Amino acid sequence: MINRERLADTFVELCETDSPSRHEGRMAQRLREIFAPLAPDEVFEDDSARTTGSESGNLFFRFAGALTAEPVFFNCHMDTVQPGTGVKVRRQGDLFTSTGETILGSDDKSGIAALIEAMRILRERDIPFRPVEYVFTTCEEIGLLGAKALDPAHIQARFGYALDSSGFGRVVIGAPAANRLRITVYGCAAHAGLHPEWGINAMILAARALAQTPDGRIDTESTVNFGIISGGVASNIVPEKVVLEGEVRSHSEEKLARLTSQIEHIFRATVDNWQDAGGQAKGRPGLDFVVEPDFPLMHLDSDSKVIREIRRAAESISLDLSLEVAGGGSDANIFNGYGLETAIIATGMTNVHSTSEQVELDDMVRLTELILALLTGRKKY
């Protein structure tokens, strides 16, 4: 059914078209060329590049299809993490890896290759299919920037699938919401040897607060991490400013809010309770506590339309699916936040974001069959 070698060739070509985040220009151009002979009813690039700083906007291909059925969309991201420059694919049998110096890029080009092969089959065999939109985003790996800058009015379908998860036969139906924290503690600068009593050490204050802050896995639904600390000028100067960057994630909106305010309370209390022991400090400490919602909660009911449809498609090709909850945020969080029910489907990629990333051709073939079953309602072609 599936043209395995054509799928393999497409996958290799996509992987070897470098597309680290913000440098998706060549990939976008190549996708336009690949899809042109497949006669999309509309090709559209949005203006998100102005916001994301990418070489390309998000890229949309719409296919009207001849079946009367509810439209569906598929999403993959065009960008990859680093090291992703100069990717060369090594194929051993049906296993694809990089040569070891770079990532492979199966995250997320395994999904893109399957979408291309599915449309090629539909077109060359003239098989009727439901209306479908392919939505290729930019800058997913650096904070879901393309999806965040996307206007959901550009997507006509009300539900869809992000082909963007490792392993195979997995459907991700839940992912946490996250807040980013940027905390600035202000002290007072002074010469550390001559007039230390004039100063207020922002670093010490930050450390006191941080030592009381919950950290790591808080409960089955929530995590907290501080990842960056910066500040200070020299060892002989009492530091007047320290910036801490961290995040809170939870599968519960309520816990996310509670943990975030708990951390804020710890920092505020630490700064407020500071006392000028010698009575000579040239000021008072201060605090900026900035919370930036990073991505919204993703939670799909197992009997929602998006899950029912993919289950039916999987059953028709005798594929077992497991429904799972993940710990990461991805474009699907953003789409769900827009009110577009979006499940994440594993593509077969493994060891992603590392130089030992790999994918099996068989899994991409099965993924293509799953896409075809969803688009056509058929088992055989």
Catalytic positions are 79, 140
- Taking the alpha carbons at both ends of the chain, their separation in whole angstroms is 6
Residue placing its CB nearer to Zn ion in the complex, 105 or 199: 105
Judged by CB under 5 A, which stretch of 163-171, 233-241, 273-281, 363-371 contacts Zn ion? 163-171
Please give the Cα distance from 165 to 155 (Å, whole number).
22
Please give the Cα distance from 343 to 4 (Å, whole number).
26
Give least dist CB 331 to Zn ion, A.
8
- The pair of three-digit structure tokens given for residue 135, joined into one six-digit string: 């939505």
Which stretches within 125-252 are classed as H helix?
A: 145-148, 202-212
CB under 8 Å to 142, separation ≥6 — which residues?
A: 21, 22, 79
Q: How far is CA 187 from the centre of its chain?
A: 36
Applying CB under 5 A, which of residues 24, 46, 79, 107 lies at the interface with Zn ion?
A: 107
Judged by CB under 5 A, which stretch of 54-62, 103-111, 360-368, 370-378 contacts Zn ion? 103-111
Judged by CB under 5 A, which stretch of 10-18, 161-169, 207-215, 353-361 contacts Zn ion? 161-169
Residue placing its CB nearer to Zn ion in the complex, 103 or 185: 103
Give least dist CB 156 to Zn ion, A.
24
Which of positions 245-264 make contact with Zn ion (CB under 5 A)? Answer: none
CB under 8 Å to 83, separation ≥6 — which residues?
A: 101, 102, 103, 355
Applying CB under 5 A, which of residues 164, 331, 341, 369 lies at the interface with Zn ion?
A: 164
Judged by CB under 5 A, which stretch of 7-15, 160-168, 251-259, 273-281 contacts Zn ion? 160-168
Residues 54-93, mask of contacts with Zn ion (x by CB under 5 A) = ----------------------------------------
**331 belongs to the binding site for Zn ion (CB under 5 A):** no
237 beta partners: 191
Residue placing its CB nearer to Zn ion in the complex, 75 or 201: 75
Residue placing its CB nearer to Zn ion in the complex, 24 or 108: 108
Please give the Cα distance from 123 to 128 (Å, whole number).
9
Residue with tokens 């974001």: 353
**Amino acid symbol at 363:** D
Binding residues for Zn ion, total number by CB under 5 A = 3
Give least dist CB 52 to Zn ion, A.
16
**108 belongs to the binding site for Zn ion (CB under 5 A):** yes
Residue placing its CB nearer to Zn ion in the complex, 199 or 329: 329
- The pair of three-digit structure tokens given for residue 20, joined into one six-digit string: 């680290």
- Other beta carbons within 10 angstroms of residue 322's beta carbon come to 10
Please give the Cα distance from 375 to 204 (Å, whole number).
59
Residue placing its CB nearer to Zn ion in the complex, 107 or 240: 107
**117 belongs to the binding site for Zn ion (CB under 5 A):** no
**264, 248 contact by CB (below 8 A):** no
Binding residues for Zn ion, rule: CB under 5 A, are 107-108, 164
